[in-house]
Structure 1
């Protein structure tokens, strides 16, 4: 049963999943900010938990971990859809704004707070903040959530 779905602005790329995100985080790094226009919020899933239709373009760059991040976006409308960081192999971060039901989600953690825009305020949903990327902590949380999915 489809629990969440979404896609790009023009509808060429769509995704569905039967799961809730394992983790939702706000990234304040300069790479995400340049690619999204502001702070980026991602919902983490195992790659096998998400089905996609359409063929996105891929742009690869260095992430805050120093490892590559593969960013996927619609070749027609340019909507940034998801990223696959090599530092978190087997997982993907779907841009929160790409979900059809994105208003129900809120981030629980934020990373790269040392690059956070001064005007951006926490509404009370952030439980953990990290000055850097917190790759180890995020992988640990993802693995715990993956074990619970069984």
Structure 2
């Protein structure tokens, strides 16, 4: 396992990951499209494996899955950094573009593909899920 680090656009928020990313994927849900004007590359990490320095702002919304999603972002520059779901608070979703080395992960699936625009550039070698994937197993304690 290699430690990964990252930060927001302005540097006011930085973070460290002490576990391997789980379920790296490109999400095409409409909420992610609103956040990025495209699909977003993200992955899950056990909550206790994420250390954050700096203040985060939050926005909560019920997603198409029916779960309440809390998105966390830098209040200075607006960079979307993390999210978590009411259905699995033991995990944080991390936006891969904020990693210091985003090439250190590679998506393995497209999720919410049914919501992708017709012009979406999807890697056909990746698994395609039309909606929400099953969450990873709860990390051992």
Note whether the superposition's TM-score is higher than 0.5: yes
CA-CA distance at 1:125 after TM superposition: 4.8
**Count of residues in Structure 1 that have an aligned counterpart in Structure 2:** 141
In the alignment, is the contact (CA less than 8 A) between 1:106 and 1:125 conserved in 2? no
Moved over 6 A (4+): none
Counterpart of 1:65 in structure 2 is 65
Q: Does 1:129 align with 2:128?
A: yes
Counterpart of 2:36 in structure 1 is 36
The root-mean-square deviation of aligned C-alpha atoms, in Å, is 1.9
- Deviation track 1:81-131 (CA, whole Å, cap 9, x = no partner) reads 0111112221111001110100232211221111112222333551x2211
Paired with 1:63 and 1:96, the residues of 2 have a C-alpha distance of 20
Structure number with the higher helix fraction is 1
Paired with 2:103 and 2:125, the residues of 1 have a C-alpha distance of 13
Residues 3-82 of structure 1: pairs in structure 2 closer than 5 A: 3-82=3-82
Paired with 2:108 and 2:64, the residues of 1 have a C-alpha distance of 19
Paired with 2:64 and 2:82, the residues of 1 have a C-alpha distance of 16
CA-CA distance at 1:53 after TM superposition: 0.6
Structure 2: where are the runs of 5+ without partners? none
What TM-score, normalized to structure 2? 0.90
Q: Does 1:110 align with 2:110?
A: yes
Paired with 1:48 and 1:114, the residues of 2 have a C-alpha distance of 32
What TM-score, normalized to structure 1? 0.85
In the alignment, is the contact (CA less than 8 A) between 1:112 and 1:131 conserved in 2? yes
CA-CA distance at 1:2 after TM superposition: 6.4
Paired with 1:76 and 1:95, the residues of 2 have a C-alpha distance of 17
Counterpart of 2:137 in structure 1 is 143
Paired with 1:22 and 1:115, the residues of 2 have a C-alpha distance of 23
CA-CA distance at 1:18 after TM superposition: 2.1
